[in-house]
Amino acid sequence: MNRKRSAGKLFAYLKPFRVNIGISLACAIINVIMVLYVPIIITKAIDIIAYDGFDLTMITGILLRAFIVALIGGLSQLVMNDQNNRIAFNIVKNIRNDAFKKLQILPLKYLDTNPHGSIVSRLIADVDQLSDGLIMGFTQLFTGVMTILGTLIFMLNMNLKIGLIVVVLTPISLFIARFITSRTYSLFKKQSEIRGEQTGLINETLNNIRVVKAYSHEDEILSKYKTVNDELQGASLRAVFYSSITNPATRFVNSLIYAAVTLFGAMVVINGGMSIGTLVCFLSYATQYTKPFNEITGVITELQNAIACAGRVFELIDEEEEIPDKDNVLKDVKGKIEIKDVDFSYLLDKPLITDLNVSVNPGERVAIVGPTGCGKTTIINLLMRFYDVNDGSVSVDGNDIRDITRLSLRRSYGMVLQETWLRNATVLDNIRIGKPDATLEEVINAAKECHAHSFIRRLEKGYDTVISEDGGQLSQGQKQLLCITRIMLSLPPMLILDEATSSIDTRTELKIQDAFMKMMKGRTTFIVAHRLSTIKNSDLILVMQDGHVVEQGNHETLMKQNGFYHKLYNSQFS
């Protein structure tokens, strides 16, 4: 996303905080007026000492007035900083909420094709960088601009010629700032992209640390990380180098302005054109006038970084969403499934499923078998509408699933997958995901049915044991039993069992067959399995090869055909 569009979207997030911005601007004006008024007060004290001699009473009164003015300026700055922090953190909160909300409605295609670490980096690191830039921008930009305008007005009013000298030299500082900041945006954007790549690599390594260690890939991962880290170092150094030039460059110009003001001011004082106190005041204004240029150029550099990071977040927020739901809700599900003339591919130039036709009656058990990559899991993705078909239709009880809400469709299915999903919560809460209002007694009965109760009871705190998102101390088989218990508790009208017992030992698998039979009774069930002996009793077996259903029927019928299924089945016993 380009810089102008990112800045425009960022300004849109500012609109709800117009009142806060108004208060901040008002406080900035008060602060600047008070700060600029102090030198005028001090000027009187200097002139009294220089021309009238030391008068303690008058000097004390002047200093007291200066203290009160400075106090008002300090309080206004305190209020301004409070408002600026509120604006920045609320904007960041809203952006994060919008980004995370967008994640919930993005098609799985986006999540499947983008590194999760990069997405996390956008929501965390990039938004943090944006927050820092906004706080610095609001805090220093407002007062900086006000100070420049205020001091310029005061200086021109005090001495037009010296004021014009300052005005003439000012564009040099502005030109240097523009020259440098115009080159920092792309550098900070590159830095942000590499940081996302680094976060993705760390996330990938942590999620697969056992695989890394099992195959002794530590050195390879370390080398890859070192390469990315070196790239990040290089990009960061280039970005920081350019941004760090601004301060010394503008300070040099500011010193020239100060020297010029001092030289011409001294000549005017010698000629009687102004008093010593006025010159001191003028020099104070010259310092205050040039100082904000240092701050503003630094702020602009930081804002370049913030806008570059914001652009990455806005790219996520602007991603194309899922096709909106229709208003129809699936009710009283019987479980009749029709797949008609379905074509689907993850990549348009690589067809996967073509002309798929399947009819499933309510309560039937349908097994999907075939070699790896033939499209078994893809059918599950289409049934759940994780992906939409390219052509054809999938219907439930005569309702095209594109014409009903995703929520009502997915609540009609219970899924047990080979890859278990648990969250950082208690065992009880993990089982209740499918039925949050379930009683403890209902949870225990479901766990007993699935032979999970015995190992849960042996945990440190039983059902109140907190487990991490990867299951922590639980074995893969135990985690899979928890997922089966979750479905047993809710018992939706349709089931999807994708290698549901792949991590469970044979003895335990035999024990829970009764639980599966109870779950499947009267419920349309789709079973994906590699062990063909487990699906012999299915009402319908779909045999897939290269995205096509090449054979379908029950076990006996398919064995008699002596076709592809016959070869697959016998190959497991050869």
> pLDDT tens-digit profile of 322-362?
888 888 888 888 989 999 998 888 877 777 888 888 899 99
DSSP 8-class letter at 348: T
pLDDT at site 552: 86
Which helix H or strand E contains 394, and what residues bound it? strand 391-396
pLDDT at site 53: 62
Query: DSSP string spanning 220-284?
Result: HHHHHHHHHHHHHHHHHHHHHHHHHHHHHHHHHHHHHHHHHHHHHHHHHHHTTSS-HHHHHHHHH
Determine the Cα–Cα distance for residues 537 and 102; give it in Å rounded to an integer. 43
Amino acid (1-letter code) at residue 390: N
Per-residue pLDDT tens, the chain, 574 aa: give them.
667 788 788 888 888 888 988 898 888 889 888 888 888 787 777 777 766 666 677 778 878 888 898 899 889 989 988 988 888 888 888 988 988 888 888 888 887 777 777 788 888 888 888 888 888 777 777 788 888 888 888 888 877 877 787 777 776 776 776 677 666 767 777 887 888 788 878 877 877 776 677 667 788 888 888 888 888 888 888 877 877 777 677 777 777 777 877 888 788 778 877 777 777 777 787 777 777 776 776 677 777 778 888 888 888 888 888 888 888 888 888 989 999 998 888 877 777 888 888 899 999 999 888 887 777 888 888 998 988 898 999 999 989 999 999 888 988 888 887 777 788 888 899 889 878 888 999 999 989 888 889 889 988 889 998 887 666 678 777 888 888 888 888 888 899 888 766 666 677 667 677 777 778 888 899 988 777 767 888 889 888 887 778 888 888 888 888 888 888 888 765 5
CB distance 3 to 185 below 8 Å: yes
CA dihedral (386, 390, 395, 399) positive or negative: positive
CB distance 503 to 516 below 8 Å: no
CA dihedral (471, 472, 474, 477) positive or negative: positive
Determine the Cα–Cα distance for residues 102 and 120; give it in Å rounded to an integer. 13
pLDDT at site 110: 82
Q: pTM of the full predicted structure?
A: 0.67
What are the chain's domains?
A: 3-317 (1.20.1560.10), 337-571 (3.40.50.300)
Q: What is the dihedral of CA 110, 114, 115, 120, to 10 degrees?
A: -60
CB distance 221 to 134 below 8 Å: no
Determine the Cα–Cα distance for residues 530 and 376; give it in Å rounded to an integer. 11
Q: Which of 140, 80, 135 is nearest to 294 (CA)?
A: 140
pLDDT at site 501: 67
Query: DSSP string spanning 107-152?
Result: -HHHHHHS-HHHHHHIIIIIHHHHHHHHHHIIIIIHHHHHHHHHHH
φ, ψ at 151 (rounded to 5°): -65, -35
Determine the Cα–Cα distance for residues 146 and 352; give it in Å rounded to an integer. 63
Indicate left, alpha or beta for 370 from its phi (over 0: left) and psi (-120 to 50: alpha): left
Could you give the 3-state DSSP secondary structure of residue 540? strand
In the numeric block, the tokens 């949870």 are attached to 443
Could you give the 3-state DSSP secondary structure of residue 525? strand
Could you give the 3-state DSSP secondary structure of residue 565? helix
CB distance 261 to 224 below 8 Å: no
Determine the Cα–Cα distance for residues 120 and 132; give it in Å rounded to an integer. 18
CB distance 185 to 106 below 8 Å: no
pLDDT at site 395: 93
Query: Helix 476-490 to helix 440-449 angle, to the nearest 10 degrees?
Result: 120
Q: Which of 225, 247, 244, 251 is nearest to 305 (CA)?
A: 244
Reported as a single tens digit per residue, the pLDDT across 225-276 is: 888 888 888 888 887 787 777 767 777 777 777 787 788 878 877 887 777 7
DSSP 8-class letter at 303: H
